[in-house]
Structure 1
Amino acid sequence: MIDKEEVKRIYEIAHLNIKDEDLDKMEEKFNTVLDFSRVILEVDTKDIDMLEIVENHESILREDIVFESIDREDALLNAKDREYGYFRLKKVIE
């Protein structure tokens, strides 16, 4: 279960702000997702063949459209920390 303090920590790691009045709602949303993922992990799949490719998938792919990217300095304009022209992030997974 995720509590309000964990919600605050997640928002801090993501460099996002959250209002105190929104903590209850976000705590509930995070826990809804975690509860659903637990249900998925409980599904018995031992007699199910592994599927890597859907053979009857008929998705029509769009053509790539090439256009100029955003300028690096504009992209980094609001970065809290940057190094060598890139975003610099704190390590969050150990």
Structure 2
Amino acid sequence: MIDKKEVKRVYEMAHLNIKDEELDKMEEKFNTVLDFSRTILEVDTNDVDMLEIVENHESILREDKVFESIDREEALKNAKDREYGYFRLKKVIE
């Protein structure tokens, strides 16, 4: 289970802000995803053949459309750390 304190920590790690009144809703959403993940992990797949290629899959691709890119300064305006015109991120290993 994830509590409000953990939700706040995740938001801080992602450099995002969350209002105190949104914590309950996000706590519920995080826990819904985790519960669903646990349910998937409980499914018995012992007698299921491994499938690597889906033969009948038809991928419908959209046409590429060229759009004007966002201005670099606009893209970086909220970056906490930047270098050489790019976002700079801290190395995180846990």
Instruction: Name the residue aligned to 1:49.
Output: 49
1: distance between equivalents of 2:25 and 2:72? 36
What are the superposed Cα offsets for residues 42-65 of structure 1, whole Å, 9 maximum, x if unpaired? 111122122222211223212222
Write the letter of the residue equivalent to 2:3.
Answer: D
Distance 1:93 1:32, change over 3 A: farther
Q: Which consecutive residues of structure 1, in runs of 5 or more, have no partner in the other structure?
A: none
Instruction: Name the residue aligned to 1:72.
Output: 72
State TM-score, norm by structure 2.
Answer: 0.83
Q: Which consecutive residues of structure 2, in runs of 5 or more, have no partner in the other structure?
A: none
Superposed CA RMSD:
1.7
Q: Does 1:32 align with 2:32?
A: yes
For these two proteins, the number of residue pairs brought into alignment is 94
Please identify runs of 4+ aligned residues in structure 1 that moved more than 4 A.
Answer: none
Write the letter of the residue equivalent to 1:64.
Answer: D
- Residue 74 of structure 1 deviates from its aligned partner by 2.1
1: distance between equivalents of 2:17 and 2:27? 14
Distance 1:84 1:5, change over 3 A: same
Write the letter of the residue equivalent to 2:38.
Answer: R
Identity of aligned residues (%): 89
Residue range with higher mean Cα deviation, 7-16 or 69-78: 69-78
State TM-score, norm by structure 1.
Answer: 0.83
